C-alpha cells in the first residue's frame, strides 16, 4: 500500500512517496522524493539506521541530438559502397574466369577488397570514437575511396 506525506520547507513543497507506483501519478513539474520500500521516513528502532532519501527525479523534455550523425552516416555509406563494389568486382572476376572471358586484372581483384576492408575498419573507428579521432577516421574513409577510385578505375 502506498503512503504519501507532504512537507513544506522554504515555501517549496516536496512530497515523499514510499511506493514507486505512486510516483507515476505525479503531475509534471511536481517535486518528489521516492522510496521503493514501505518504510517510514525515519527509523524507529535503536538498531536501525535512518532511511536516506532517494535523489529527486528530474526529467527533461528536450533531448539533445548526437553530434556527428550526418558525417558518420555519409562516411558509413561510402565504406559500405566500397564493400559492395568489392563483392561485385570479385563476382565479375569469378564469372569471367569460369566463362574464359577477359575480366578485371589481378590489381583490381585484390585492390577493391583491400580498399573495402581498410574503409570498413576506419568507419568502425569513426563510429566508436568522438572528436578529432572520429573526424580523422571518416576523412580516411573518403581518402581510401578516392584512392581506390582513381587508382583502380582510371589507370
pLDDT at position 19: 54
What pLDDT band is residue 68 in, cutting at 50, 70 and 90? confident
**Residue 21: all three cell numbers together:** 507506483
Burial readout 55-72 (b: 16 or more C-beta within 10 A, e: otherwise): eeeeeeeeeeeeebeeeb
pLDDT at position 146: 97
Rounded Cα gap, residues 105 and 74, in angstroms: 30
pLDDT at position 42: 53
In this structure, are strands 12-17 and 32-34 parallel, antiparallel, or unpaired?
A: parallel
What pLDDT band is residue 34 in, cutting at 50, 70 and 90? low
* pLDDT of residue 63 exceeding 80: no
pLDDT at position 85: 96
* pLDDT of residue 106 exceeding 70: yes
pTM over 0.75? The answer is no
Amino acid at each position: 500500500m502506498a503512503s504519501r506525506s507532504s512537507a513544506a520547507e522554504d515555501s517549496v513543497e516536496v512530497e515523499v512517496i514510499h511506493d514507486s507506483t505512486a510516483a507515476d501519478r505525479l503531475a509534471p513539474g511536481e517535486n518528489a522524493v521516492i522510496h521503493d520500500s514501505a518504510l517510514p521516513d525515519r527509523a524507529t528502532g535503536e538498531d536501525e539506521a535512518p532511511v536516506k532519501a532517494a535523489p529527486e527525479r528530474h526529467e527533461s523534455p528536450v533531448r539533445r541530438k548526437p553530434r556527428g550523425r550526418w558525417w558518420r552516416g555519409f562516411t558509413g555509406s561510402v565504406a559500405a559502397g566500397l564493400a559492395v563494389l568489392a563483392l561485385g568486382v570479385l563476382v565479375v572476376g569469378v564469372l569471367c574466369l569460369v566463362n574464359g572471358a577477359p575480366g578485371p586484372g589481378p590489381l583490381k581483384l585484390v585492390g577493391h577488397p583491400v580498399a573495402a576492408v581498410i574503409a570498413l575498419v576506419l568507419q568502425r573507428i569513426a563510429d566508436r570514437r568522438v572528436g578529432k579521432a572520429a573526424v580523422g577516421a571518416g576523412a580516411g574513409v573518403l581518402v581510401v575511396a578516392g584512392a581506390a577510385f582513381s587508382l583502380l578505375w582510371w589507370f
